[in-house]
A and B are shown apart, each in its own frame.
Chain A
C-alpha cells in the first residue's frame, strides 16, 4: 500500500509544475499510510450556521498529507465577506470547484489548484449542482409567491415549486431558460442526456393547503431543457446519483414520523424499486454507492444508535464495516477507496465539527473542520 502511494506521488512529479499558490498553506499533518487514491485533494465544504455567514472550504492535500481549514478565506483575502452563508453542495468539474452557497444566493467557482475565486454566479436559493459537457445544473427553491388581502389573509397562494437552472460552463453565466420541477428540489444528477432532480417538499410539508412532502423525481431532457416526466419514489427525496452505467439511485429522508429514510433505484423502464431502509449519509465512488443509516432514527432521545454501513453496486447490497457510531453526529461521507472513508461529524451543529479517516473499519485520526462539515468532493 505504502509503495503504491509512493509510486503515485512519483508519477505526479514526472511533469514538474509551477508550485501552486496554496502550496504555502500549512495545516494539520495526518497519516495517509494505507490509503490508495488517485485524487490530489479532497475538498470539504463546511455549511456553517444559517445566518452566521461562516461557510468555509477545507481540503486534505494528499501529497503531503495535510488537512487545511478555511482555504477560501486564506487564498482570497480580498473577499471580505468570506465564502458566504450556508454551503449546501460542492462538485469538481475539471480543474474547477463549484460550490453552492445557499443563503448567499451564489454559486461560487474556485480553482481546484489554488482555491482562488474564478466567479460568483447569482442564483436564488440554490441547493445542489451537477454537470454535463456544456452546463452546470443547479436546483433552486425559488419561485415562491403569495398575495395577501387587506387583513393579511391569503387571497392567492402558489405553493412554491422549485426550478432547475443551468449555467454555461464557458461563459459562467446563468442561462435565461429554466425548468420548473417539484417542491423544494434538492439533489441533481446527469446521465446520458437526462437530468434527474430529487424533489423534497421540505417547506411544502408545513404550508397550506396540502401540508405534504413531495415524493417525485423529475426527469428533464438536457437537449431541449424541458421537463419530461415526474416519477413517484417516496416522501422527501434528498440525493440522486448516477453510477455511469445507467443506474439512478435516489435517497429519501422519510417524514421523521412513520416513513423511514431509504434508498431507491430507478430501473431502465422508469419504474422504481426500494433497495434499503435507513440512509443518513451517502457517497458515490465510481459505480458503487456507499451509505450509512441508523435504524433508530425515530428514537429522538439521541442516546441509542444502531448505525450500519452498506455498499450498493448494480442494486446489490453488501454490509460494510464502517463504525461511524463512535462519532457524535455523522454528517458527510466520502469514499476514497473500497477501504478508506472520510466521515465528517457535525458534533453539536453549532461549534466546529470534525473529519475522521476510517481505514479498514477502524478510525485512524480526527481533525477539526468547520461548522457543519457536510459535503466532500475529490479532485
Chain B
C-alpha cells in the first residue's frame, strides 16, 4: 500500500503521467510518507483551465500574462503565435502535451495559435529545469518548457460530457463537444471542436481605417483518448487530428491601391497518435514508456492569380516523426533515487520545392539524473546527452548524393530546493541546454549551412517564494532573478556573395532579468477576491560583434519592462475578472533607433461568468451545470502592434454557453 501512496502524491502534486492506482483512493493522508516522488522544483507559473467559462479562448492569451513570457502574435485568430521565455528564442522553448514534445524539425517553432485553451486541464511554465520522476529525456533537454496537461477523466458516472458554443467578434464561431465514458478498467474520452473566423477587423493604415482581409480561418480538431490500468500501472493512448485552412493577411505596408496586401493561403493536416505506459515493478523500480508518430502536411500558396504582387509560389511540405522514450526510475534508498531516460526520434521532411534536401534526422537523447528529496531540502543533478545524425541530399557536392553528419551536445544541470522557513522557499538552478539547428537552418536552399553547431543557452536563476495565510487572507510573493547567455546563436547573415545568405553560429546574447509576482487573495462566506501583479525586467543585450554599432543594444522584440495585473471577484456562482497586460517599448531591429521603435502597448480585458446548477438526475452523482460567460478583450479599443506591420484587433468580445452533465 505504501507504493500506492507514492503514486497518489505524484498525481496530486504534479504529474500528467502519474502512476494511478484505484485503491489509492482509500488511503488516508496520514499514511503518505514517502517524499521521493515530490517534484524538486515548482513550476514558475501554473494555471488550471478546466471548468472555467472566462478563460481566454486562445492558449497564447493565457501564457501572455506569465512572468518572463513574450508572445509574438501576428494578429487575428489564424495568425502565427509563438512564445519566448526569458529572451530565449522560441526554438529553445519545448511545448509538451502530456509529457510528449510537440515539435517541428523544420523551423523549431510551435504555433500556439493552433491550441484552444479549453482543450486542456492545466498549463504550466518551467523556466529552469523541470525535474521529476519518470520524465522523458526531452523534458530535461529544452531551455524552458510549457507543459499542457489533459486530466484523466474522473468517472463517478458512466458517461459525462460537455457541449460548448462560443461566438463573437470577427464572425467567430467555435462549437465544441466532449464526452467521457468508463468501460470497466478502461476510460474513453472523445472531443472535437470546429472554429471559423473571418479575421476581419478594423485597423489604422497610414491615416485611413482599413479592414484586415484574408485573415480567415476554418479548423477542425478531433481527439480521442483511452485510459486504462494494469496491475501497478497505467496506460494511455491519444489520437489527434487537426485540419485547417487559413489566409495570411500579410504585413501592412505602402501598397498601390487595388493590389491586396496578400492572397497567401495555407492548409494544414496534422495527425498524431501517442501513448504511454507507466509501471511500478516493485517498491523501488518503475518505468515509463512513451511512443508517438506524427505526420504534418502543409500546403502553402501565394495565389499570384489573385495578387499580381505575389511571387508565384505553390509548395507543400510533409514532416513525419517517430518517437520512443523509455524512462526508468530506481529508488536506491529513500529519499535518494536515480533516473535514466532514453529517447530516440526520427524526423523526415519532404517537399516539392526545387532541389530539396529531403533531410532525415535520427536523434538520441539520454538523461541520467539523481534526486535527493526531503520535505524541506531537495537537490537534483542531471546529465543530458543529445546526439543527432542527419542524412540529406547535398547539392553542393555536385550531385544528388546523400551525406551524413553527426552533432552532439552535453547538457548538465543542477536544481536545488530549500525551505528555510515553513512559508519561505528558495529554488535555484544552473543549466546548460542546446537547441539543434532546424532543417531550415541547415538545408534551406541558398541559405542553409550544413556545418552549423547546436545553439547554446547557459541559464541560471533562482526563485524566492514567500506565502502567508492569515484568516481569510492569503499572500504569495515570488521574486526570480536570472541570467541567461545564448551563444553560438544561429543567425542568417549574407555571405561574401551578396545575393546568397548563410546561417552561422555567431550570435551572443546576454540576458539579465528579474520576474516578480505578488498575489493577495481573500475569501469569506459567499465572497472571494484575488489580485495578482506580475512584472518582468529583461535586459537582453546583443554581444555578437565587439565594436559593432549595435553592441550592447536590446535584441529585437524584447521589452525591458513588461507586466500584468489580474483582479477577480467571485460571489456565489458569479465570477468577474479584469486583466491588463503591459509591454514596454521594444525595437524591431538591434539598431535601437526611433525608426525601429515599436510603441509600448497595454490592453485590458474584462470577463463575467455565471454558473447555474441543476438537480442531479436519478442515479447520478454529478450535478448538471450550465455556464454562461462573456469575455471582452481590449475594452479600451487600443490599436497596437506586437510585431511591426501586423496590427492587432481593437475591442472584441465573445459569448460562451457551456453545458456539462
Contacts and interface: CB of A to CB of B under 8 A. Distances in A.
Interface of A: 51-54, 70, 80-85, 101, 103-106, 120, 122-125, 141-142, 144-148, 152, 154, 160, 203, 205-208, 211, 253, 256-258, 261, 280-281, 294, 296-302, 304-305, 329-331, 346, 348-352, 368, 371
Top 10 closest A-B pairs, CB basis? A81-B254, A144-B304, A144-B312, A297-B497, A124-B308, A84-B254, A211-B354, A105-B256, A80-B206, A122-B256
B496 A53 contact: no
22 contacts: A52-B251, A52-B588, A54-B595, A81-B253, A84-B253, A122-B259, A125-B308, A144-B304, A203-B313, A205-B354, A206-B355, A257-B396, A281-B498, A294-B497, A297-B497, A299-B496, A301-B451, A348-B494, A349-B501, A351-B549, A351-B590, A352-B595
Nearest to B208: A80
Contacts of B259: 105, 122, 124
Interface of B: 205-207, 250-259, 267, 299, 301, 304-305, 308-314, 316, 352-355, 395-396, 398, 445-446, 449, 451, 493-502, 504, 549-550, 588-591, 593, 595, 644-645
A144 B644 CA distance: 29
A302 B595 CA distance: 29
Contacts of B354: 205-208, 211
B312 A120 contact: no
B256 A104 contact: yes
B352 A331 contact: no
Contacts of B251: 51-53, 85
B254 A52 contact: no
Nearest to B309: A105
Given A51-B253, A106-B254, A256 B500 contact: yes
Contacts of B593: 352
A294 B439 CA distance: 29
Given A146-B304, A203-B311, A258-B398, A82 B254 contact: yes
Nearest to B544: A348
B252 to A, nearest CB: 7
Nearest to A49: B589
B254 A85 contact: yes
Contacts of B301: 146, 148, 152
A299 B502 CA distance: 10
B258 A122 contact: yes
Given A257-B395, A257-B396, A346 B498 contact: yes
Interface centre among B253, B449, B499, B501 (most CB of A within 10 A): B253
Given A104-B253, A351-B591, A331 B550 contact: no
A145 B523 CA distance: 65
B312 A146 contact: yes
A144 B307 CA distance: 9
Contacts of A84: 253-255
A299 B501 CA distance: 11
A350 B590 contact: yes
Nearest to B491: A348
B304 A329 contact: no
A67 B254 CA distance: 26
Given A83-B254, A105-B308, A144-B310, 6 more contacts: A80-B206, A103-B309, A104-B253, A206-B353, A299-B495, A329-B494
Nearest to B207: A80
Contacts of A203: 311-313
Contacts of B588: 52
Q: Which of A146, A298, A350 has the most CB of B within 10 A?
A: A350
B255 A146 contact: no
B649 to A, nearest CB: 20
A297 B496 contact: yes
A281 B355 CA distance: 28
Nearest to A368: B549
A145 B593 CA distance: 41
Given A160-B312, A352-B593, A280 B497 contact: yes
A147 B301 CA distance: 11
A101 B645 contact: no
A160 B304 contact: yes
Given A120-B256, A261-B497, A280-B498, A152 B207 contact: no
A346 B253 contact: no
B309 to A, nearest CB: 5
Nearest to A142: B308
B496 A294 contact: yes
A300 B309 contact: no
Contacts of B250: 51
B593 to A, nearest CB: 7
A187 to B, nearest CB: 14
A296 B496 contact: yes
A351 B314 contact: no
B493 A348 contact: yes
Contacts of B205: 81
Nearest to B306: A145
A122 B254 CA distance: 12
Nearest to B550: A351
A296 B644 CA distance: 36
B498 A53 contact: no
A115 B655 CA distance: 52
A83 B206 CA distance: 12
A18 to B, nearest CB: 31
Contacts of A297: 495-497, 500
A144 B494 CA distance: 29
A330 B498 contact: yes
A154 B314 contact: yes
A356 to B, nearest CB: 14
Contact of A302 (B496, B499, B645): B496
